[in-house]
């Protein structure tokens, strides 16, 4: 009887050790990629070849705030988490903006299995976004009071002016760090190239 009891204790101890080891491995699996991404930003390290966007240095973390997203209020830290974000910012979504949205949708679709790791976001002062949502139902739209949208745009640009009119594209990582920006004239194929490199280098998202 005593031997059986000792055997059970031994088995339980082994199972506990195995459980702790699995937990540790999972923690490393999900944490290390984010650490690598942050280190890439901090030390301006680029894995291979050139990047086509402008690296945000020092990295900018989006502050806690609440905005209207597709007619629902959401807190920004939660909103950016768990996904890589392709963000377009525009005051009014004119013809250039609509073309850019089309280009970014093509980039998104071309990611195939990695599509689930990415979300597309439009930040705009435009009050009526019904036509945009009709054309791009999976696009997340942040709009609301003009002052709030302008403030968010300035955060994205590091305090720069005329951010809304410039219609830049930004990458925001799953920790809410603004990583890279692209001017309006940057071709979508180069934006895609940088994005696929980031997705390949990181398991996050």
In a domain, 7, yes or no: no
In a domain, 33, yes or no: no
In a domain, 49, yes or no: yes
Average pLDDT, the chain: 78
% pLDDT > 70, the chain: 65
In a domain, 28, yes or no: no
In a domain, 11, yes or no: no
Q: DSSP label at 126? A: -
pLDDT band at 182, cuts 50/70/90? very high
In a domain, 78, yes or no: yes
- CATH number for the domain including 163? 3.40.30.10
> CA 75, 35, 189: angle at the middle one, nearest 5?
75
pLDDT tens digits, one per residue of 51-94: 788 888 777 777 565 666 666 666 566 777 788 999 999 888 99
What region, left, alpha or beta, does residue 162 occupy, with left being phi > 0 and alpha being psi -120 to 50 degrees? left
Q: What range defines the domain where residue 95 resides?
A: 41-201
* Total domains present in the chain: 1
pLDDT on residue 110: 96
In a domain, 83, yes or no: yes
pLDDT on residue 11: 52
């Amino acid at each position: 009887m005593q031997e059986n009891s000792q055997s059970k204790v031994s088995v339980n101890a082994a199972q506990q050790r195995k459980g702790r080891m699995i937990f540790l491995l999972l923690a490393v699996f999900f944490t290390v990629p984010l650490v690598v991404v942050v280190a890439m930003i901090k030390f301006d390290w680029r894995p291979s070849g050139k990047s086509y966007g402008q690296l945000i240095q020092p990295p900018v973390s989006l502050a806690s705030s609440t905005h209207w997203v597709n007619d629902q209020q959401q807190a920004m830290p939660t909103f950016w988490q768990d996904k890589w974000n392709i963000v377009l910012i525009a005051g009014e979504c004119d013809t250039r903006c609509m073309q850019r949205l089309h280009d970014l949708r093509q980039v998104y679709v071309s990611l195939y299995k990695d599509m689930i790791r990415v979300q597309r976001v439009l930040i705009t002062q435009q009050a009526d976004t019904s036509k945009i949502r009709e054309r791009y139902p999976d696009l997340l739209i942040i709009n609301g009071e003009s002052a709030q949208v302008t403030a968010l745009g300035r955060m994205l640009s590091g305090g720069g002016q005329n951010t809304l009119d410039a219609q830049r594209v930004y990458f925001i990582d799953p920790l809410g760090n603004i990583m890279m920006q692209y001017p309006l004239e940057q071709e979508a194929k180069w934006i895609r190239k940088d994005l696929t490199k980031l997705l390949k280098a990181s398991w996050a998202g």
